[in-house]
Amino acid sequence: MDALLRKLAAARTFLIFPGDEERKRERALTSAADAAVLDLEDGVAPDAKEEARAAVGPFAEAPGGPARLVRVNDPLGEDGARDLAAVARLEAPVGVLVPKATVHAVERAAELERPLVALVEDAAGIRDAYALAEHPAVFALALGSADLTASLGLLPDGSGSELLFARSQLVVASGAARIRPPIDGPCLDVHDPAALEREVAAARTLGLLGKVCIHPDQVEGVRRGFAPTRAELEQARRVVAAWAAIVAHGGAVGVVDGLLVDPPVAERARAVIEASEGSGTA
């Protein structure tokens, strides 16, 4: 599980697909996504749940490819209990995405002793984000933006302002619990790269790291959007180099490109460099 956790900690792109569609499963496993997510929940019709559940084994045990997650149904319901039983039989390292996450649902899924992503999709989940993030089995929070906007009557205007509070709540909860930054919900318009770019930019600005993709064509856009730009990377390198010189001469602050540099600014610059290395853009 350690190798899985390392991959998931650095992952930006989470490609989800219906568990009962073999073609999409094969495409996800050979994609450039950091993580493939087999869906047993909303993406699968009720009469296809068993077929999707039977695909968990082949999905988990396929060689190579991205890290693996399984989105189960509500762990406290009958379908969810069957999903958890299917995951429990696996020997391969697989994480679990818990939908409409509650503390009780996470507690039930935690019995698998596998990494959990708590998918926050309603007002109760936003309220309980801190408790979810602090659960020892949860390595990340994720935003279920479509369900959240529908349940609260939020009206998307293209700017992402309707998700400002929800995204920020998950970022702060994750930071307080010292887990990886949260994963943003998917862009539902798979034919609009500009919309995807806007959503990634809004999420990155607020401190999220990564996004659910509902089509392989979205993977590269998400990866590119979360990677530091060349200008950001070059400035970060200048800041780190200057800060080393400042410290060497016994200084406490300095100025680089007109920017006041102190320990927090230097730490942020180092984080930008690390992010570029993780995204392959260094």
pLDDT in tens, 201-239: 999 999 999 999 999 999 999 999 999 888 888 888 988
pLDDT in tens, 111-146: 999 999 999 999 999 999 999 999 999 999 999 999
Place of tokens 């299917």: 86
Extract the tokens encoding 79: 């379908």
3-state helix vs strand vs coil in the chain, percent to 5: 55, 15, 30
Rg (CA), the chain: 20
pLDDT in tens, 250-270: 888 888 888 888 888 888 888
pTM of structure: 0.89
Residue 281's pLDDT is 55
Task: Indicate whether 272 pLDDT > 90.
Answer: no
Task: Indicate whether 33 pLDDT > 90.
Answer: yes
**Mean of the pLDDT values across residues 146-175?**
95
Distance between alpha carbon 279 and the CA centroid of its chain, in Å?
Answer: 14
How far is 63 from 59, CA to CA, in rounded Å? 9
Residue 278's pLDDT is 60
CA distance to 43, 117, 166, 243, per residue, from 264 (Å):
43, 29, 26, 11
pLDDT in tens, 182-191: 999 999 999 9
Q: What is the DSSP letter of 149?
A: H
Q: How many CB atoms lie within 10 A of CB 266?
A: 20
CA angle 119, 185, 277 (to 5 degrees): 100
Task: Indicate whether 54 pLDDT > 90.
Answer: yes
Instruction: Report which of 181, 166, 185 is spatially closest to residue 37, judged by C-alpha positions.
Output: 185
Residue pair 56/73 in contact by the 8 Å Cβ criterion? no
The band of 280, judged by pLDDT with boundaries at 50, 70 and 90, is: low
Residues β-bridged to residue 13: 211
* Window from 49-63, 159-173, 251-265 with minimum mean pLDDT: 251-265
The residues, any chain, with a CB within 8 Å of residue 142's CB and separated by 6 or more, are 14, 97, 117, 118, 119, 120, 182, 183, 184, 185, 212
